Amino acid sequence: MLINLVLTINPISAEEIAEKKDDYSEVTLTLPDADDSVDIKEETAPQAVSVFAEQKSLKEKLQDVYNLEIYKYDKPSYLLDEVLTKRFDEDSKMDRLHLWGAYNGELDFSIRQDGAISNHYDFNAVNVGLDGFLKNNNADFRIMLGISPRSDRNMVQGMPADVYIASNKIPHHRFLIGHTRPPVGYEGGSSSYTLSFLGRSQIARTFGTARKLGVRGRGEYSLIDYDFGVYSSDTYFQEFFPGTEFVGWVNFKPLGKTDGRYGRLKIGGGMQAGKRDNNYCVTGAYIGYEYKRVMAEFEWSHANGYNGTLGRSVTDHASGFYATLGYMITKKLQALICYDQFDPDTHVNGNKRREYVVGLNYFIKGQALRLIFNYAFCQNDGGKDSHRLMFGTQILI
């Protein structure tokens, strides 16, 4: 019923597709910034002004939402951005407050090699947030709560997601203090709402994606951007400062001064090093390229112990990589393929796990309203192979 309702909101005819399909100058494909904590606008510098006129009535604003067309997919957009934004008078130090909500979930059918069939529904990400912005973009804050049910953390540990304050006074720089997701790997530090597939790669979900308390600084220029931070090695308020952790990531953008004429190329690398019981270190490298309808990305990572969202290991030497290709069939429909390999312990033979994934994204209204289909063949050297069919929905309001 949800899919039928979503498709009814913004029907698109074959004539409309034919009319627009040749002009891809405004399309931005899904190579998300390695932030995360960009869960949504997380940790990106605040955007200045909405496209809606302030004097419009609520009915007119909702009509604008209905007619909204979004062809930028590397950052999240919100359906009710203007409706749920409170703007302050000129004499106030506050510029605006934005209340938002986000949901990403999937229906998953699995068929194992031995014939066993299972199905379940996953709430991948369910968040409610409040963003506040000071005048002249001098500073901002975010209070973001995660309300997805989890069995491995209690409510107090799992509910605070991004809780931080940030300063933007120095040009090209942003400094944050609080609870955020460090860039342990490129995809491991990216927003949940700009991922190409319903799930992250094996290296990202094993080594990264965990939120931590700390201080970080980010810089962004035309040819380079970087993110360095010092954190507690605790994850999700489970322990009180068990150790210190450093996370750093640098991206080089060789085509950054060509205005996209030859596409966008990003070459990055980084490290996570810290102590929690024992020392651990994760290193990684990334290459991403996009040009008109095509996107491609490759990421490799190796760990001598790790401290990620799925738990920590101080003895395993693990390694993996993924390669993804994407193509925009129309301005709203994207096809993807991915090869993902992971070795959970390089000292043990015959335990590699491989995932062959095919995906379709239908961007009804950019990332704000998106339908997702993934098929994955999961090949496990140490266990039974399986097939997975996943049907997902994403809504950002």
* % of the chain residues with pLDDT over 90: 66
What does the pLDDT average to over 119-145?
93
Summarised one tens digit per residue, pLDDT across range 249-303 is: 999 999 999 999 999 999 999 999 999 988 999 999 999 999 999 999 999 999 9
Residue 137 reports pLDDT greater than 90:
no
pLDDT at position 58 over 60: yes
pLDDT of res. 54? 52
Question: Under a CB-based contact definition with an 8 Å cutoff, are residues 293 and 333 in contact?
Answer: no
242 phi/psi in degrees, rounded to 5: -75, -10
Instruction: Give the tens place of pLDDT for each residue, 339-388.
Output: 999 999 998 888 999 999 999 999 999 999 999 999 999 999 988 899 99
Higher per-residue confidence, 59 vs 254: 254
- Phi/psi at 216 (5° precision): -145, 155
Report residue 231 as tokens. Answer: 């954190």
Over the stretch 159-182, which tens digit does the pLDDT of each residue have?
A: 889 999 999 999 999 999 999 999
pLDDT at residue 11 is higher than 60 = no
Residue range of the domain that includes 259? 2-396
- Distances 329 to 19, 29, 215, 257, 392 between C-alpha atoms, Å: 14, 12, 41, 28, 19
Total count of domains within the chain: 1
Residue 69, pLDDT above cutoff 60: yes
pLDDT, mean over the chain:
85
- CATH number of residue 391's parent domain: 2.40.160.10
